[in-house]
Each structure stands twice: as structure tokens, then as C-alpha cells.
């Protein structure tokens, strides 16, 4: 294996688009036929919708397959959505189940090997090479967070450290003491670790050898990326994955990513077929337009989900990337259609609030929106914001000035004026983990009567 090559799997990553789409159609027909013949639960869903595998002639015929809604998948708990034989499975992962029964995802040895390939492509793409040490602070547990990059690092010859999440002091020590080339973490946890290192007297941009970081599991604006890069002295990359599809390893930015490139993350079209639809009509949107991402697993044998509505809002394009990879690209998740918050008739995403706040150097790693209804029936929200230094709260004049500026910034981005802005010290709010962070659950508390 040559360390100086640009791509981990050159033939696949640069496959001509026509050939890639032919492969997608071939894999789609095979996976749909397998699910139809081997899974009675989904066979009934397809029959009720009037669909049979023979209806697939072109990729456009995927529209004949009914969407998989989250409710349909959860109703298959515990084993109805498993297509392969249980005895053939080698690993199981699960969604959090915070809004109902969890989704159990089983993977065969074949599935795990392909999962490792996708993650190896991503690690190679951002600059990790055989022999490098990779610090993995995504969670190791029922969600897939830590496992994908762990397998990928091993597959491409790097050495993963399975730190898992929440161990900030240990992470600082390891970054300072070991020649770690790259690490992954949720953006909010990375900010927290970087700020905590400063409090302990470390400048990780100088005191560590780290050059690369990968972040996902929650929406994060470019300004958060710049903060992380400054704190750690790294080039930071966005990645995205879902437990339902053995993420991470679904999409990741390449070396060509820049602030001026709005659609930056490559998705691996030989393993996954992605659609971008109008969430209200279910019809496809034009290339490059915002919509809801719908995913089909083209290769897994254990639990292949087909036309699964993610509720994640983004855009995708098949325009060729300067890096030479022919696989389509997806934009960073703007928010989720089921996590968007309507306040006085205006739709607000937590990611918009974060974008408004990260321009303040005093901002810590987390915030929380508390939404309520007053006696007149009018919606309003309180914004609780962590500061990176508790001593900033000692100067009441400074607090009043900062509060007002933050309120104005949020209003400018969201068109909604927070009723109250409350500033608190660092590490006083719950923060998202790799398992729950795709949702706004850690940043929105809706107290309105349903």
C-alpha cells in the first residue's frame, strides 16, 4: 500500500459517474430483491404499496418504492427489520430510543468490512496515513459513533485510541504526551476540551502534534470550525453518519473543502444511494437545492434500510469536485425538519442560534433554548449561554453589554428576539453525545403545552 497516493481505493473513488450510477442500479435491484424475498415485514409494506422488485428498471424507478418512515422502522422492533439470519450477524448497534422504541441495526462480517472501507476512505481523504495515531473520542457503545472510525483506522493501517466520549482530562493528557496525528469528537466537546486545556495552562496548538480533526453528530457553523482550528492547531473536517446506516462513514469533507464551497461532504455512492426531496411533497428537488435527505443502503446484508427518511435538511450535488472524486457531495446538515422550532410563526434551527453566538470570543461550548408561551398565548424563548470563563460574570456592566450584543446577534440571524439572555459559567449545561447530537434535544427545551 503506497502512503503517497491520494485515494485509499482509487478505482472506486474516481469511478466515472455513469459507471457509478450503473453500479448503484445493480446494487439497488439486488438489495430490494433480497429484502422483498427474505423479510416478511417489509414484503408486506411493499405489497401494500403495490410495489414489486421487478418494477425497478432505472434509478428513477426508486420513486416507486415507498418511503421508510421512522415509525415504520420502530414498529419493526426488535427483529422484524433484520433481513439476514441472526446467526450470521457479528455486531448490533442501536439508536438512543429517546422518542420511542430504539432501532436495532445488525451487521454481518461482510457489512462490518464494508463499513471499515468507507471510514478508511474518509480518514485517508483528510490526511491520516498508515502508522499514524488516531484519537477517537466518539462514544463506544450501542450507537455507532466510535466503532466506524476505529475499524476504518485499523483497515488503513493507523492506530486508533478508543478513548470514547466525555474524558476531557485524559484527552488533553494524551494529546500532549503522544504524537497523535488526528482526533475526532463532537464540535461542542472539542471546544470544551480546547478551552479546558487553556485553563490547565496548555496551548494544544503548540503543545500537541495533532494536525487533523473530524467532527460530527451535531450541526456546527464555520465559525465553530475556526475556533477549533485555533485551539488545536488543526485542519478541521466535517463528517456525518447515522446509526441506522452504520455511521460514521456515510459522508465526509475532502482536502478541497473551503468556506466558499457550500456542498462539501462526499457520500459513498457505491454503498449508499441518497435522494434529496421536498419534505412536504416527497418529490425530488433540483441538484444543489435544499431538501430532506433520504437514504438507501445498497450493500448491507443484516439490516439494509431502503428509502429511509432521515428528516435531516441539506443539499446534494453530482457536480465534480476539484479533488477528483466522482462520488456526489452533500452539504452540512442545516437542521432537521422534525427539530425545527416554530416561535411566533417563524422557524428557528438551533444551528442558526449557534452561528449567531460563535462570533463572540467570550462564548463557551454550549447553549440552551427554553421555549414558553406567555399569558397572552404568545411564544417566546429564553437563551442560556455558557461563557468560557466564569470570571467574566463578575463585571456586571460587561455582562449587561455582552447580553445585549448576543441578543441582537441572534435576532439578526433568526428574526426572533430572545426574551431573556442568561449568561452562566462553563460546563453548566448538558451537552450532546455522539449518539444524540444529531437532534436538537440537548439544546432545546420546549415547555409549551402540546
Mean pLDDT throughout 54-77?
A: 94
Distance CA 323, CA 326 (A): 9
Domains of the chain plus CATH, in order, are: 10-16+104-336 (3.40.50.12780), 341-446 (3.30.300.30)
The pLDDT score that the predictor gives to residue 21 is 98
- Look at residue 216 and tell me whether its pLDDT is greater than 60: yes
The pLDDT score that the predictor gives to residue 220 is 82
Q: Which residue has the cell 455558557?
A: 386
- Look at residue 347 and tell me whether its pLDDT is greater than 80: no
Alpha helices in 39-126 (DSSP H): 40-48, 70-74, 109-126
- Look at residue 1 and tell me whether its pLDDT is greater than 70: no
Distance CA 299, CA 131 (A): 29
The pLDDT score that the predictor gives to residue 349 is 76
DSSP annotation of 362 = T
pLDDT in tens, 18-60: 999 999 999 999 999 999 999 999 999 999 999 999 999 999 9
DSSP 63-120: GGSPPB-HHHHHTTTTTTT--S-GGGEEEEEE---TTSSPPEEEEEHHHHHHHHHHHH
Instruction: List the one residue out of 276, 235, 241 whose CA is nearest residue 259.
Output: 235
Alpha helices in 179-254 (DSSP H): 187-199, 204-207, 222-232
CB 148 within 8 A of CB 178: no
Locate 71 and state its grid cell: 415509525
Dihedral angle sign, alpha carbons of residues 141, 147, 149, 150? positive
Distance CA 326, CA 332 (A): 18
Distance CA 275, CA 309 (A): 9
- Look at residue 258 and tell me whether its pLDDT is greater than 80: yes
- Look at residue 96 and tell me whether its pLDDT is greater than 90: no
Between CA 88 and CA 311, with CA 118 as vertex, the angle to 5 degrees is: 90
The pLDDT score that the predictor gives to residue 322 is 97
DSSP annotation of 60 = G
Mean pLDDT throughout 322-345?
A: 83
- Look at residue 135 and tell me whether its pLDDT is greater than 70: yes
**Cβ-based neighbours of 200, under 8 Å, separated by 6 or more:** 172
The pLDDT score that the predictor gives to residue 431 is 60
- By CB atoms closer than 10 A (0-12, 13-18, 19+), residue 97 is middle
**Cβ-based neighbours of 376, under 8 Å, separated by 6 or more:** none
- By CB atoms closer than 10 A (0-12, 13-18, 19+), residue 18 is exposed
In this prediction, residue 450 has a pLDDT band, given cuts at 50, 70 and 90, of low
Count of C-beta atoms within a 10 Å radius of residue 19: 11
Q: Which residue has the cell 441495526?
A: 105
The pLDDT score that the predictor gives to residue 97 is 55
In this prediction, residue 440 has a pLDDT band, given cuts at 50, 70 and 90, of very low
- Look at residue 441 and tell me whether its pLDDT is greater than 50: no
Which residue spans within 203-262 are E strands per DSSP? Answer: 212-215, 235-240, 251-253
Question: If DSSP codes are grouped into helix, strand and coil, which group holds residue 182?
Answer: strand
pLDDT in tens, 159-204: 999 999 889 999 999 999 999 999 999 888 899 899 999 999 999 9
Question: If DSSP codes are grouped into helix, strand and coil, which group holds residue 422?
Answer: strand
Buried b (16+ CB within 10 A) or exposed e, 79-95: eebbbbeeeebebebbb
Backbone angles phi, psi at 170, to 5 degrees: -65, -40
Backbone angles phi, psi at 67, to 5 degrees: -65, 150
Of residues 219 and 142, more confidence is placed in 142
Share of the chain above pLDDT 70, in %: 94
The pLDDT score that the predictor gives to residue 432 is 55
Amino acid at each position: 500500500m503506497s502512503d503517497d497516493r491520494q485515494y485509499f481505493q482509487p478505482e472506486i473513488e474516481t469511478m466515472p459517474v455513469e459507471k457509478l450510477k450503473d453500479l448503484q442500479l445493480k446494487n439497488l435491484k439486488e438489495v430490494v430483491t433480497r429484502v422483498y424475498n427474505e423479510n416478511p415485514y417489509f414484503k408486506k409494506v411493499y405489497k401494500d404499496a403495490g410495489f414489486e422488485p421487478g418494477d425497478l428498471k432505472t434509478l428513477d424507478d426508486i420513486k416507486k418504492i415507498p418511503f421508510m418512515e421512522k415509525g415504520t422502522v420502530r414498529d419493526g422492533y426488535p427483529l422484524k427489520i433484520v433481513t439476514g439470519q441472526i446467526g450470521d450477524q457479528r455486531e448490533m448497534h442501536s439508536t438512543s430510543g429517546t422518542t420511542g422504541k430504539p432501532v436495532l441495526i445488525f451487521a454481518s462480517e461482510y457489512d462490518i468490512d464494508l463499513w471499515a472501507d468507507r471510514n478508511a476512505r474518509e480518514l485517508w481523504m483528510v490526511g491520516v496515513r498508515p502508522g499514524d495515531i488516531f484519537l477517537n473520542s466518539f462514544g463506544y457503545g450501542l450507537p455507532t459513533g466510535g466503532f466506524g472510525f476505529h475499524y476504518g483506522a485499523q483497515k488503513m493501517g493507523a492506530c486508533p485510541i478508543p478513548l470514547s466520549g466525555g474524558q476531557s482530562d485524559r484527552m488533553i493528557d494524551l494529546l500532549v504526551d503522544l504524537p497523535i496525528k488526528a482526533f475526532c469528537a463532537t464540535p461542542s466537546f472539542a471546544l470544551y476540551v480546547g478551552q479546558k486545556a487553556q485553563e490547565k495552562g496548555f496551548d494544544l496548538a503548540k503543545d500537541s502534534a495533532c494536525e487533523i480533526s473530524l467532527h460530527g453528530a451535531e450541526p456546527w457553523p464555520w465559525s465553530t470550525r475556526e475556533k477549533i482550528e485555533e485551539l488545536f492547531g488543526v485542519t478541521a473536517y466535517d463528517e456525518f453518519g447515522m446509526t441506522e446506516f452504520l455511521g460514521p462513514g456515510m459522508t465526509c469533507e475532502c482536502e478541497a473543502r473551503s468556506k466558499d464551497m457550500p456542498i462539501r461532504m462526499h457520500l459513498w455512492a457505491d454503498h449508499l444511494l441518497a435522494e434529496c426531496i421536498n419534505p412536504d411533497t416527497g418529490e425530488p428537488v433540483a441538484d444543489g437545492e435544499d431538501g430532506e435527505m433520504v437514504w438507501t443502503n445498497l450493500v448491507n446484508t443484516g439490516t439494509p434500510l431502503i428509502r429511509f427518511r432521515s428528516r435531516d435538511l441539506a443539499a446534494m450535488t453530482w457536480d465534480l469536485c476539484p479533488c477528483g472524486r466522482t462520488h456526489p457531495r452533500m452539504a452540512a446538515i442545516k437542521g432537521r425538519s422534525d427539530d425545527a422550532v416554530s416561535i411566533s410563526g417563524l422557524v428557528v434551527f438551533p444551528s442558526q442560534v449557534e452561528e449567531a453566538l460563535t462570533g463572540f470570543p467570550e462564548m463557551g461550548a454550549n447553549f440552551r433554548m427554553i421555549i414558553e408561551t406567555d399569558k397572552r398565548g404568545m411564544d417566546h424563548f429564553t437563551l442560556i449561554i455558557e461563557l468560557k470563563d466564569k470570571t467574566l460574570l463578575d463585571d456586571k456592566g460587561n455582562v449587561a453589554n455582552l447580553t445585549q450584543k448576543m441578543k441582537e446577534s441572534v435576532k439578526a440571524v433568526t428574526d426572533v428576539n430572545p426574551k431573556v439572555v442568561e449568561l452562566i459559567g462553563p460546563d453548566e449545561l448538558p451537552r450532546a453525545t455522539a449518539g444524540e447530537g444529531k437532534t436538537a434535544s440537548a439544546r432545546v427545551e420546549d415547555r409549551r403545552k402540546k
